[in-house]
Amino acid sequence: MNEKSQARKDRLIKGLIIILFLGGIICLVIPFAKRALLSYRIESVSVQQTLSVPTNEVSQGSVIIQPPTLSETLALYRHQPEASLGRLVIPDVAIDVPIFPTLINENLLLGAVTMFPERDPNQENLVLVSHHLWNETLLFGPLMNVQPGQAMFLSYGDQVYQYRVTEIKTVPATEISVMDNRQLGELTLITCDRPTLTDQRLVVNGTLVKEEPDEIKEKMHNAQEQGVKTISDNRLIIRHFGWLLVCVFIIMLVLTWIVIKL
């Protein structure tokens, strides 16, 4: 009877060890898996562009801008992207993202969102917001490296625009005056100052540069061509990261089997 009790106790202890071991491994793997899935979705998603820009204010959703959860990342794979209004390209820091009209978290994870899509870029302050993720080559993460004087290109509807970075600053998240419309041709980019929960925002402001549309289109096209290699390199890194996760999972199974046999 004592031997049976001891055997039952040994099995219970072994089971608890296995559960704790697997739980620890899962806790370690989940953040990396989330990052790999999110990076791949951002880099591989196909977005259609519309040439029509809203002339009336768009009803925006209520979104708290913060690092995405695993459930939000998985939901992104089921989300069908809405048509974009254009693209933002900043060649010096390898930014090339679509611009969406509606403030929902899925759009913030796939590109940038224009807070006031009805504003005229020629004579008003166009405000774009996006995420700053752990992988600072994605979305608005590269804004951390932007410098005054650098060029920013914007396709918006059927028009193209060029801006020059004039101001870079960090403000409290409650400082909404940076989005005010000063009746000037401006571009304002807003993101978190770091890829974790924060109450500060990085704000990059640019002023409109008057040039011929054909010249701007050529410059923007050349900038996007330069960015193709960056995107390819990112995808290669993500692919290698995916294989690393597979190896970790196999090692986890082997170690579990060893624990069971102890």
φ/ψ bin of 24: left (φ > 0), alpha (ψ from -120 to 50), beta (otherwise): alpha
* Domain positions in the chain: 42-235
Which tokens hold the place of 99? 């611009």
How far apart CA 155 and CA 161 sit, in angstroms, is: 6
* CB neighbours of residue 209 within 10 Å: 14
Identify the pLDDT of residue 232.
46
Q: What is the dihedral of CA 43, 49, 53, 57, to 10 degrees?
A: -40
Rounded alpha-carbon distances, angstroms, from residue 158 to 87, 110, 151: 11, 21, 20
Active site residues: 131, 192
Identify the pLDDT of residue 190.
95
Q: Angle 92-97-98 (CA atoms, 0-180°, nearest 5)?
A: 145
Instruction: Tell me if 212 sits within 8 A of 240, measured CB to CB.
Output: no
Which tokens hold the place of 71? 């459930």
Q: What's the whole-model pTM score?
A: 0.74
Any idea which fold 42-235 has?
Sortase; Chain: A; (2.40.260)
Q: Report mean pLDDT in 10-residue bins for the chain, 262 residues.
A: 68 72 68 70 76 66 64 77 90 90 87 90 92 85 93 90 95 91 89 88 93 76 63 51 63 65 62
Identify the pLDDT of residue 158.
84
